[in-house]
Structure 1
Amino acid sequence: MIDAPDVHAPTVVDIRKLWTVFASSRGEQVVHRDLDLAIRRGEVLSLVGGSGTGKTVLLRQILGLEHPSRGDVTVLGQPAGRLSAHAAASVGMLFQHGALFSAFSVLDNIAFPLRELKLLPEALIRDAALVKLQMVGLGPAHANKSPADLSGGMIKRVALARALIMDPPLLLLDEPTAGLDPESADGFCTLLRTLHRELGLTVVMVTHDLDTLFDLSTRIAVLADQRVIVAGLPREVIAHPHPFIQQYFLGGRGRRAMEALHEDDVPDSQR
C-alpha cells in the first residue's frame, strides 16, 4: 500500500454541494445530492460505490466532460467546467478500456494531445512520446504497432502514457485493472505506484477490484445514499457501520484482500 497522504497538503480537487440529476422516463433521477469531497495533493483517493452511484460520472465532472446540475467542482483552483485547453492539460485521464484510436500507431496515440496543442515541433513531440512509452515499461519496438496488435495490459500502458504526455499533476483512473489477468494487474499496480511516487502525482481512481483498491489507495471515499458517506484511510472506512460497506468489504473477497493488506504490514523479520 502507498504511504498515507500529508493531511496538510493543499486541496487539488474541491467538490461542494454537488447535485447530479438525470431525466428519465420516470422523471428526474437524482444520482448525487449535496455531495462534498476534497482531494489533497499527492494522495491516491479511490471512489467506491454500488452500481448507479455515479462514480465514473464524478470523474467526468472533475475532467470537465460533464457538468453537475448544481454545486461546484474546482480543479487546481479553477472551475472544472471552465478549464482552458492548457489548464485541462493538467489533468490526465485513463479510460476503462484505454480508448486508443484504432487507426493510429502506438506512438501517434501517445503524441495526440501534444499535436492538438500545436506548440512543439514534430521532432520534440515524437521524442516526448517515446520517453513516455519507455516510462510505462514499453520499448521503442512497440512504437509503430497498431492497438490491435497489443495485449490488454499493453493497451492500458499505452493509454497511461498518453494520459501522462502533458506531465499532468492530476491523474484520473477509471477501472485501471479491469479486464487484466492477475499477473498483468499486479504489474500495472506496481507501475502506477512507482509513477505516483516518482512524478508526485495526485490520483483519483474508480475501481471495483479490491486488490487494486488496497494496493494503491491512501484514502477511500464511499458513495452511497447519493453522497460520500465516509472518506478516510482504508481501515477507517472498513470500520464504518453502513450496510453497503459491511457487505462490500467484509464479504469473502474483501476479507481475502484485507488479509493480504495485513500481511504486507508485518515486517519480514516477524513473519
Structure 2
Amino acid sequence: MTGVVNTVENVVEIRNLWTVFKSPDGEQVVHRDLNLVIRRGEVLSLVGGSGTGKTVLLRQILGLEHPEKGEVSVLGRPPGHFRGMAAANVGMLFQHGALFSAFSVLDNIAFPLRELKVFPDELIRDAALVKLQMVGLDPQQAAKSPSDLSGGMIKRVALARALIMDPPLLLLDEPTAGLDPESADGFCDLLSGLHRELGLTVVMVTHDLDTLFDLSTRIAVLADKQVIVTGTARDVIAYPHPFIHEYFLGGRGQRAMEALHEKR
C-alpha cells in the first residue's frame, strides 16, 4: 500500500512499520514495512497466524509499545502523546478483562475517570453506573468483586471500563475468547449495537471465525510480516495465499460461513 493520505476519515494510520524483538540470540523481525489505514466508523478485524504480531499492533496503536521504525498515527497524533483527557480517545478491552481483583465492579469501571482527579466522586459514580447498564448489567452487580462474576460478565465490565470516557476508537483483543457459544453471541450482539449507537471505530483481534464474520466490516490479514490484503470477507477469501486458504476455506471456516448465511 502506498500514498496513505492523512484525513479526518482515517482514525488510525500506520506507515512503513517495523517491529523487531531483540534477544541474546539475535533479532526477530515481526513486522516489516507494514502499512494499514483504519477508517472512521468501521469494524476492522486483524487476523493472522501465530507470531504475526496482531496483539502487538494493538498495543502500538494504544501507545503501550513502540515500533522499531515507521509511524503510527491515531486521530492525527502519535499514540504515546495521549495524556490526561486526551487518553479518552482510545478505549481498550484486554483479552482476559484485566480487572483489578481488589476493586468492586463499579470501582473498576470508574478507575480511568478517578485517575484524572478532575471530577467529583458523585459524577464518576453516576457515569460508571450508566456504562454498567449500557453493557447490559444490572446496577445490583456494582458492588460485586470480579471473582464473583462469570466470564461473560467480566467481559462486559471490562467493556464498560473501556467506554467510560466515551472514546471514538475502541480496541478489542480476542473479545469472545473463553466464552461459551451463547455468551459469545450475546457479547457480539452487544458490541454490534454499541458500534451503531455510539458511532465507534473498532479495531479487533480475533481467532473466532463466528465473531469475525458477525462484526467485521473489513478484515486485514497479517502474513509475511505485512498486511497482505484488506477488504470485506468476500474480498479477503478471494486473495490467493496459503494462510487465507487454510484459515477461511478449511473446515472451521466453511462451518462459520454457513452459520453466518443461516443467521441472515
1:5 maps to none
1:241 maps to 240
1:144 maps to 143
> Residue type of the partner of 2:141?
H
Is 1:63–1:88's contact at 8 Å kept on the other side of the alignment? no
2:3 maps to none
Shift of 1:82: 2.1
Q: Any idea what SS the aligned residue of 2:178 has?
A: coil
1:30 maps to 29
Q: Matched residues in 1 for 2:261 and 2:230: separation? A: 20
Q: Matched residues in 2 for 1:86 and 1:57: separation? A: 24
- What do residues 201-236 of structure 1 show as CA deviations (whole Å, max 9, x unaligned)? 000000000000000000000000000000101100
Uncovered stretches (5+) of structure 1, i.e. residues with no partner: 1-7, 266-271
Is 1:90–1:169's contact at 8 Å kept on the other side of the alignment? yes
> Residue type of the partner of 2:81?
R
Q: Matched residues in 2 for 1:233 and 1:9: separation? A: 22
Q: Matched residues in 2 for 1:119 and 1:162: separation? A: 17
* Segments ≥4 residues shifted beyond 3 Å: none
Is 1:110–1:162's contact at 8 Å kept on the other side of the alignment? yes
- Identical columns (%): 82
> Residue type of the partner of 2:193?
T
Shift of 1:146: 0.3
- TM-score (ref. length: structure 1): 0.93
- What RMSD in Å do the two structures reach over aligned CA positions? 1.1
Aligned length: 258
Q: Matched residues in 2 for 1:259 and 1:71: separation? A: 40
- What do residues 20-42 of structure 1 show as CA deviations (whole Å, max 9, x unaligned)? 00112431100000000000000
Q: Matched residues in 1 for 2:172 and 2:51: separation? A: 18
Q: Matched residues in 1 for 2:254 and 2:84: separation? A: 44
- TM-score (ref. length: structure 2): 0.96
Q: Matched residues in 1 for 2:160 and 2:262: separation? A: 32
Pairing 1:130-169 to 2, within 5 Å after superposition: 130-169=129-168
Shift of 1:87: 1.8
Matched, 1:82 2:81: yes
Pair 1:163–1:224, CA change in 2 (3 A): same
1:252 maps to 251
